[in-house]
Amino acid sequence: MPRTFRAFALVPALALTCLACGGGASPKGGKEATAEPPRKVKLAKSEAGSLPRVVPATGTLAADERSELAFKVAGRVAEIPADLGSRVGSGQMLARLAPEDFSLRVAQAQSTLVQARARLGLPAEGPDVLVDPSTTSPVRQAKALLEQARVTRERGRKLFEEQLIPRSDLDRMEADYGVAEGAYQASIEEAQNRQGILSQRRAELELAKAQLADSVLRAPFSGAIEERRVAPGDYVAAGTVALVLVRTDPLRLRLSVPEREAEGLTVGLPVRLSVGEAPENAMGESPAAAKASENADDAGATIPRGIEGRIARLGPSITEASRTLEIEVEVPNFDGALRPGSFARAEIVVRAADPAVLVPVSAVVSFAGVDKVIGVDKGKAVEKRVRLGRKSGDQIEIVSGLAAGESVVVSPGNLTEGQEVAVE
């Protein structure tokens, strides 16, 4: 059969096929499409409540004080009872130099002091009183010789006036008196010099005792050993750092607060802390901690209770480069559980209670950076765009977009604008 004839022969067949598929069926013979039933939802009303105004920040815990401890005197290290991680109290011995040389210097200084006291007529032991020079034996002796020379000169003058002795004898007597007077003045100066030597010997003894005490390195404050740099047997020069000590109670937390949040910050404000690993939710608390926060006395607590410090210092000015205010928080660490260098999340409680509109967290839908809740109007879902604030347990603050008392759908899931709903 020619190709053209075959094409025209297929047209009636196609027409019959279309009729067989229902093209000629009556509308009254079929069923109308079934409408989707309204979705069942639960509603909750937004509540007027209160939350503390908190300023979140992050920082690193640091030791309140860090001291590089060095010997003030040179010597050979005899012992170091403290080591890395050792917890020590204020005044506790950390290291000691060999004491023999220092003990000998103390004994030497003690003996020279006794000699100086003896030259002033003082006993070997006792206070270093100020001695009257006229009471010392050299001055008394010189004074007696001066008196004898004076009497001899007066007698010689009378004899010379009576022409019983020559002029040369009188001149010799005058000279002897002058020598005796000079010796008396010299004895007074010698007594004063001995008084000065006594003070010097006392200072030398105290210096020797101080060096003996400095041969023992003691902790200037309570803390923990961060580093040990010498070992027993090492010879160290004066000023050589032997140990590094850090104060672990309290710790110091340095925070940078944005300029817009710095208003109202004062010394003494409480600061809640969360220290440790990366957070499991937005505010750094585990589910168990979140449950504990829900029952906390302070509404709005988002950081686990138990670690709390207070603002101790505020920076004098805003840092221009970052537009932040530097603050320091003192964190108690009685048991030493916190370690310097740990990462910490903080919440500064500026005010204990601020008015807020609260809705269940499950009522908020977030997508592509847009937060919204869904209400019900005339049996249909209505989307409302909102701005979120602080979180408190299973409730969250609505800053704008919703008033207190309005109803919202709990757990809306994929509910969309205009969809029919039925309130359970």
Domain end point (choices 310, 335, 353): 353
- Residue for token pair 């920076």: 315
Residues 159 and 189 in one domain: yes
112, part of any domain: yes
In a domain, 19, yes or no: no
Instruction: Based on the fold, state whether residues 92 and 227 are members of the same structural domain.
Output: yes
Backbone angles phi, psi at 99, to 5 degrees: -90, -5
Looking at the fold, whether 117 and 183 belong to one and the same domain comes out as yes
CATH number at residue 274: 2.40.30.170
Asked if 105 and 133 sit in the same domain, the reply is: yes
Examine residue 29 and state whether it is found in any structural domain, yes or no: no
286 CB contacts (<8 Å, ≥6 apart)?
Answer: 280
Q: Please tell me whether residues 80 and 226 are part of one structural domain.
A: yes
- For 238, residues 6+ apart whose C-beta sits below 8 A from its C-beta are 70, 71, 72, 73, 74
Could you tell me which residue, 208 or 351, shows the higher pLDDT? 208
CA pair distance 125, 349, nearest whole angstrom: 65
Residue 341 or 244, more confident: 244
Measured in degrees and rounded to the nearest 5, phi and psi for residue 332 equal: -60, 145
Residue 221 belongs to domain with CATH number = 2.40.50.100
Residues 107 and 252 in one domain: no
133 and 168 share a domain?
A: yes
Give the whole-angstrom CA distance, residue 225 versus residue 207: 29
pTM: 0.55
Q: Is residue 24 part of a domain?
A: no
Q: Please give the torsion angle defined by the CA atoms of residues 361, 367, 369 and 374, in that order, rounded to the nearest 10 degrees.
A: -50
Q: State the pLDDT confidence band at 34, using cuts at 50, 70 and 90.
A: low
CB proximity list for 325: less than 8 A, separation 6 or greater: 256, 257, 258, 259, 262, 265, 314, 315, 318, 319
Share of the chain above pLDDT 70, in %: 84
Distances (CA, A) of 227 to 65, 89, 92, 365, 422: 14, 16, 16, 52, 70
Q: Residue 283 above 60 pLDDT?
A: no
The total of other beta-carbon atoms located within 10 Å of residue 141's CB is 13
Q: Which pLDDT does position 278 carry in this prediction? A: 42
Mean pLDDT of 56-66: 88
Task: Please say which residue of 206, 226, 246 terminates a domain.
Answer: 246
Residue 252 and residue 328 in contact, taking contact as beta carbons nearer than 8 Å: yes
222 located within any domain? yes
Instruction: Print the domain residue range for 56.
Output: 51-64+248-353
What CATH number should be reported for the domain holding residue 387?
2.40.420.20
Report the number of distinct structural domains present in the chain: 4
**Mean pLDDT, the chain, integer:** 81
Q: At 384, is the secondary structure helix, strand, or coil?
A: strand
Note whether 152 and 279 are same-domain residues.
no
Identify whether residues 301 and 378 lie together within a single domain. no
The answer to which of 282-296, 315-329, 330-344 has the lowest mean pLDDT is 282-296
Comparison of pLDDT for 281 and 192, the residue scoring more: 192
- Give the gyration radius of the chain's Cα atoms: 49
Is position 118 within any domain?
yes
**Same domain membership, residue 302 and residue 159:** no
Q: Is it the case that residue 25 has pLDDT exceeding 80?
A: no
- How far is the C-alpha of 118 from the C-alpha of 288, rounded, in Å? 80
Contact by Cβ (8 Å): 58, 345:
yes
**Residue 340 in contact with residue 45, Cβ under 8 Å?**
no
What local confidence, expressed as pLDDT, does residue 33 receive?
A: 46
Check: CB of residue 243 under 8 Å from CB of residue 227: yes
Q: Are residues 361 and 339 in the same domain?
A: no
* 184/29 Cα distance (integer angstroms): 153
Rounded-to-integer distance, Cα 94 and Cα 221, Å: 12
Q: Based on the domain organization, do 195 and 324 belong to the same domain? A: no
Residue 365 lies in a domain: yes
Q: pLDDT tens digits for 220-271?
A: 999 999 999 999 999 999 999 999 999 988 899 989 888 888 888 889 888 8
The secondary structure of 307-327, three-state, reads CEEEEEEEEEEEECCCCEEEE
Residue ending a domain, choose from 353, 371, 395: 353
Is 6 part of any domain? no
Q: What is the mean pLDDT of residues 117-134?
A: 84
